[in-house]
Amino acid sequence: MMRDKICLVTGATSGIGAATALGLARLGASVVIIGRRADKCERAVRNLRRKTGNKSVAFLVADLSTQKDIRRIAQEFKQRYGFLDVLVNNAGGYFYTRELSADRLEMTFALNHLAYFLLTHLLMPSLLASPSSRVVNVASRDHRSARIDFDDLLAEKHYDRHKAYEQSKLANILFTYELARRKGPRPTVNALCPGLVRTNLGANNGWLRKKIVNLISRDRLSANEGADTSVYLASSPEVAEITGRYFIGRKETPSSDASYDQQVAERLWAVSETLTNVSCAPEPRHGAIS
């Protein structure tokens, strides 16, 4: 089903990302995973090959909160592969205290949104080299109570971990819809909520917090269940022509009212260009996303 397809999955050494990579490898795709540590990537690749019998699994090492790393691995990918069929933007984090990335940007926004924006932009030539490419952005239902606070986008005045995370997930959906609206050759691009999943999200905040999160997460979905919609959007013929939509449990679902605000989406796009030092040429847009 996915033979001869090349898929790149970020944050794929554990959790939903690892399960997404597993699902795509089982379908026969050539899978490239991105993780922060070489040793974890090597173990993940060995595990994927062992479980699926698929030898076409490889990895790239990068800290996706760091724009220098994103630029480097985008270049490495383009040097190794002639095209890209599927990009799954999955890597993310939840930070209990305000942290700064190597670029001196608030970490939640840098990792959860700007990494999606920059990596997708840098890999666009590879995506357009495929006749039917797709971008899949992992968001969250937590976007529903969020708004984009342009007056304090990087939480320099006040940091609230919940608001920072919710804002980043709203940004994922705004980015999805704005990319879909832009005319010209484009991959399809869709966003999803994986559901309430047992993952390592927040594990960076210490062992005690991780233990608490694990206790409250016992009744949540497994990583494989959470990855199901990501694999579906990356591979199913049913959604091959669908773009600019939000999914939960494989079903197209309305996102929040704020996520359909085109003026906010355009402003966020412009700010993201500035913060990543890239320029995407202005283009006419398709009709409204609804």
pLDDT in tens, 5-42: 999 999 999 999 999 999 999 999 999 999 999 999 99
Dist. CA 133–CA 277, nearest whole Å: 25
232 pLDDT more than 50: yes
Q: Which helix (H) or strand (E) holds 18?
A: helix 15-26
Does the reported pTM lie above 0.95? no
Mean pLDDT, residues 86-110 taken together: 97
The mean pLDDT value for 259-274 works out to 98
State residue 17's pLDDT score: 97
pLDDT tens digits for range 137-167: 999 999 999 999 999 999 999 999 999 999 9
For residue 202, is pLDDT > 60? no
**Mean pLDDT for the chain overall:** 91
Q: Which residue is catalytic, options 94, 165, 177, 232?
A: 165
Task: Say how many CA atoms lie within 13 Å of 285 toward its Cβ.
Answer: 13
Domain ranges within the chain, ordered by starting residue: 6-276
Is residue 116 among the annotated active site residues?
A: no
Instruction: Specify whether the CB–CB gap between 134 and 188 falls below 8 A.
Output: yes
d(CA 22, CA 16): 10
Q: What is the distance between the alpha carbons of residues 154 and 166, in angstroms, rounded to a whole number? A: 13
3-state secondary structure of 64: coil
Superfamily (CATH) of domain 6-276: NAD(P)-binding Rossmann-like Domain (3.40.50.720)
